[in-house]
Amino acid sequence: MRTCVVVVGKMNILPEKSLWIFVLQLSCVLLTLKATVTVGSPVLLNPPPPPETSAENFLEKYGYLEEENHQHNDTEVNTALREFQWLTHLPVTGRLDSATRHQMAAPRCGVRDDRGQQAWAQKVNGIFHGGLTKPNSGQRLRRKRHSQLGERWHKRHLTYQVVNWPGHLPRGQVALAVRTAFQLWSNASALAFREVTQGSADIRLAFYEGEHNDGMGNAFDGPGGALAHAFFPCRGEAHFDMAERWTLNGYKGHNLFMVIAHEVGHTLGLEHSPVRHALMSPYYKKLGKATVLSWDDITAVQQLYGKPESGQVIQLPGQVFSSALRDWELSESGTWKPDSTPPPYCRGFFDALTMDQDGTSLVFRGGLFWTVSPAGNTSSPLPLQNRWPGLPLAIEAAAYSEMDNKFYFFKGRRVWRYSSSGVDPGFPLRSSELGLPGHPDQAFYYPRLGHLVVFKGQLYFVLNLGTLRPEPYYPRSLDDWRGVPRGTNGAVSHPDGQVYFFKERHYWRFDPEKVQVTGEGMWDTELEWTGCLGTHHRGNNIL
């Protein structure tokens, strides 16, 4: 077998200096490929399934194709794709185009979308005409927005129980989210809910990983995909994927409150809704400022259980829940002592991390931030607005720049820049004005380039802080950062000359001289300057 080896020296992550290396490597690959083809083509032992097969599996799992017969003809697949596209508000083509594949990969509820396009249209028609009518006939159908006739609770006072919860979220926050989720539905119907901590309950909420003896097709699939699933009355259970990055007050991960509220709707008997902005839409919905329940959600629950005794629906805007959660967070932060237990972010997640000119780490989570000295001494948490007035309630990325001694904050599609005196004139700016993407994964100052580096998905961007314009030849692939995984949520250029990347509870140490990762581990037990005092924390999983 012919072998090709290219030996190179040190390389900076700059396109003009690495172009000749790329050409040599490409030539090597072509020569090796030529030799391989001459000898014989390699055989993949486990080739990935073609896109069509994965799409059919998806359509079977969520009720668009019959599972009993796995050999589907083109007409059946075309019809199933059209129904799926109609429900998800895509162009109805019946073809497996890129938009359809993208939608299939989006995070969603694991409950099936059993009814087809015609049934959904009949349901919407019934909302406006007081009943459901078959097309081209005067016959009414007695269908409502729940899975089957009779699948509802035959009482108005229900109990619920939280079996376990993610270890990185405080019990009090989870309890507030669950209580508010049930209150959403009681405010819109004649139902009343009460939590019980022991004994039996009508509705049980629990977190699991992978296969959990829940029936065929209900095994959780790790981060993304199916976030949770639930069972209709009278089983009354809702299960959530423990492997997801659950959040309540941050913008990274999936908001647990919104997913709980959706799954509770299923435990009450509600099906998925075809209305784009409905809480009961099958796809994950972010928490915003507007009301959480749509008119379709309210109509559906009232069809089953009637209106509130007062006759008036009380709507809860998402902003109210965010404010209540922030108040709880601030009250709890006042009782936390730096010398008692590690800060809450040590349980597994933070939103952003940076380091100032003194080597002090700043860790951001929700509406709070902590400072950690180089020796690992952690301050009490403070609200973001106390130090940086005008910032939103939470951020997605933060970076301190040694070049101009300024802090840069990212949230959504806007960027804030702060000097010691406050927010700089003209800020916040739209990310697009700086040539940067919205909702970045992370940002950090890279001394080797003298610029700000922003990661998003498979690409990284470089911002010239002098001109506030993107550097030419960017964005580029993250392959330049050899060994750094996708989806990191924080990075720090450390005084030791290394760049540390973070993802969940892991870190990777990147050597700019070798242009590759040279070490990795658990940041809460190995990096003293993160403020976790070397204590390992376990999740609260009692199952």
Structure tokens at 475: 């964005």
351 is in an annotated binding site: yes
175 belongs to an annotated ligand binding site: no
Q: Is 280 annotated as a binding residue?
A: yes
Distance separating alpha carbons of residues 80 and 78, to the nearest angstrom: 5
DSSP letter at 434 equals: G
Check whether 492 is labelled as a binding-site residue.
yes
First to last CA, the chain: 53
List alpha helices for 88-220, DSSP H: 98-104, 117-129, 171-187
Is 268 within 8 Å of 301 (Cβ atoms)?
yes
Alpha helix positions (H), 340-476: 384-387
443 is in an annotated binding site: yes
CA angle 114, 243, 317 (to 5 degrees): 65
Q: Where are the alpha helices (DSSP H) in 48-94?
A: 51-61, 74-87
Q: Is 214 annotated as a binding residue?
A: yes
Q: Is 221 annotated to bind ligand?
A: yes
513 is annotated as an active-site residue = no
Whether 239 has a binding-site annotation, put simply, is yes
Beta strands in 198-258 (DSSP E): 203-208, 226-230, 237-241, 246-247, 254-255
Q: Give the list of residues 6+ apart from residue 418 with CB closer than 8 angstroms, or none.
A: 388, 406, 407, 409, 424
Indicate the length of the chain as a whole number: 543
Is 272 annotated as a binding-site member? yes
Using CA atoms in the order 163, 169, 173, 175, what is the torsion angle rounded to 10 degrees? 0
55 is in an annotated binding site: no
| 243 annotated ligand binder | no
For residue 22, how many other CB atoms are within 10 A of its CB? 10
Answer yes or no: is 202 a known binding residue.
yes
254 in a labelled binding site: no
Which residues are CB-neighbours of 65 under 8 A, at least 6 positions away?
A: 56, 59, 72, 76, 77, 80
83, 263, 271, 471: which one is catalytic? 263
Residue 104 counted as an annotated binding residue: no
Query: Does 511 count as an annotated binding residue?
Result: no
The response to whether 222 counts as a known ligand-binding position is yes
Please indicate if the annotation marks 262 as binding a ligand: yes
Residue 317: count of CB within 10 angstroms of its CB: 13
Helix H or strand E segment including 331: helix 318-333
Residue 506 marked in a binding site: no
Binding residues for Zn(2+): 109, 212, 214, 229, 239, 262, 266, 272, 280
List residues with catalytic annotation.
Answer: 263
Residues that constitute the known binding site for Ca(2+): 202, 221-222, 241, 244, 351, 398, 443, 492
Annotated binding site: 109, 202, 212, 214, 221-222, 229, 239, 241, 244, 262, 266, 272, 280, 351, 398, 443, 492
